[in-house]
Amino acid sequence: MADEAANGGAVLGIDPGSRKMGWAVIAPRGTGVRHIASGCINLNVHAPLAERLGALLGELQALFARHAVTELAIEAAFVHDNPHTALVLGQARGLPIALAAQRGLPVHEYPPALVKRRIVGSGRAEKGQMREMVRILLSLPELPGEDEADALAVAIAHLRGAVLPVTWPTAQPVQADPLALSPARAHYLALVQASGAKRSRRSS
């Protein structure tokens, strides 16, 4: 915890859920980010909601106690077709927000499309692209799980926006050449290719 505080404070990223909740703790390192810890809280899907929320609260309290986080970054709520599902998700999502507020920590909410833009360069990026880019940015030895990757992405997106504020267009411009790569997409592909080359050199 002292190491986290010494490096400018850590961000807790949360991918909310009432059955699984991804979490990630990262911190700034120069112009990049440093991975501290991450994982997924898996709850008993057969347990009543109240029991699941109680177990989730305990796990989150332990996370806040274990890591010296200074901010919370969480995926913003979205309109769901099923009102019951939306209500349950909202109850689970409120737990980390309340715990952060109780500790006087700022809470930052990011819609999924904005997170994707800051990580991959496209608000329509696929799950596989997101997971691979998160792995590359944090130099992880293997791909993180989907919920863990989402939490890492939210935290990275927050740090990227805090260091390099970006004004995003309200609509994607139409490219004259549908095969042309945007600078962000080209950068992503270059990183993936470089990562593959490093793996090849190590295996040979």
Residues noted as catalytic: 15, 75, 147
Eight-class DSSP state of 191: H
Distances in whole angstroms, Cα of residue 106 to Cα of each of 8, 11, 109, 147, 180? 15, 10, 10, 22, 40
Distances in whole angstroms, Cα of residue 142 to Cα of each of 57, 64, 137, 182, 195? 29, 25, 12, 27, 12
* Structural tokens at position 21: 């909740």
